[in-house]
């Protein structure tokens, strides 16, 4: 039986109907058409579906839509402000840190969560934090450099 769920998504009140078995990633993409969140493995291994749930980084494929009643969800769609990209997005472009792009929204959400928690991470900390975001194209080095570069931009802005 479809359940009525009330949430806040990217700071806006959003209500939706979903079946109990539907994952949050599926609700975001198919019911709310927020297709920035990608579905890769649906088993919590690849991180393409990363979102923030009540300010905690999670794989949205491992969250049921019905669980999110009363919770706040932040997706990649909320990262850029108006027509201005977030420094992480800018730096991913600048470092050519994406090829097919499927992993990129998850990387953006995940890296942003790291930099909000830790403004000056070491390369090793970035690599460990992003271990749950698989990229099969880039070999990671460019992604790691872009995140470290974005961290320094954000520190200068702060």
What do you get for the CA distance between the two ends of the chain, in Å?
48
Q: Confirm if 79 and 92 have CB atoms less than 8 A apart.
A: no
Q: Which residue has the tokens 């539907």?
A: 22
Q: Could you say whether residue 121 binds another protein (CB under 8 A)? A: no
Q: Decide whether 3 or 8 has the Cβ nearer to another protein.
A: 3
* Main-chain phi, psi angles of 79, to 5 degrees: -80, -45
Per CB under 8 A, the list member of 7, 23, 75, 138 interacting with another protein is 23
Q: Could you say whether residue 143 binds another protein (CB under 8 A)? A: no
What residues numbered 42-101 form the site for another protein, per CB under 8 A? 42-45, 47, 50, 53, 56-59, 61-64, 66-67, 69
Q: Could you say whether residue 137 binds another protein (CB under 8 A)? A: no
Residues linked to residue 157 through DSSP beta bridges, in sequence order: none
Structure tokens that stand for 111 in this block: 């890296």
| Count of CB atoms situated within 10 Å of the CB of 98 | 20
Output the smallest distance, CB 121 to another protein, in A: 12
Per CB under 8 A, the list member of 129, 142, 144, 151 interacting with another protein is 129
Cα maximum dimension of the chain: 51
Residues contributing to the site for another protein (CB under 8 A): 1, 3, 19-21, 23, 42-45, 47, 50, 53, 56-59, 61-64, 66-67, 69, 110, 113-114, 128-133
């Amino acid at each position: 039986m479809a359940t009525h769920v009330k949430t806040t998504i990217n700071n806006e009140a959003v209500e939706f109907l979903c079946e109990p078995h539907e994952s949050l990633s599926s609700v975001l993409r198919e019911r709310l058409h927020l297709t920035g969140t990608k579905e890769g493995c649906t088993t919590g291994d690849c991180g393409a579906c990363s979102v923030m749930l009540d300010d905690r980084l999670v794989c949205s494929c491992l969250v049921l839509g019905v669980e999110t009643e009363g919770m706040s969800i932040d997706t990649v769609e909320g990262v850029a402000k108006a027509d201005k990209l977030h420094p992480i997005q800018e730096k991913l472009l600048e470092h050519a840190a994406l090829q097919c792009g499927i992993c990129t929204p998850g990387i953006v959400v995940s890296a942003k969560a790291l930099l909000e928690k830790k403004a000056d991470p070491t390369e090793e900390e970035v690599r460990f934090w992003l271990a749950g975001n698989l990229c099969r194209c880039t070999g990671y080095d460019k992604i790691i450099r872009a995140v470290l570069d974005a961290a320094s931009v954000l520190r200068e802005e702060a």
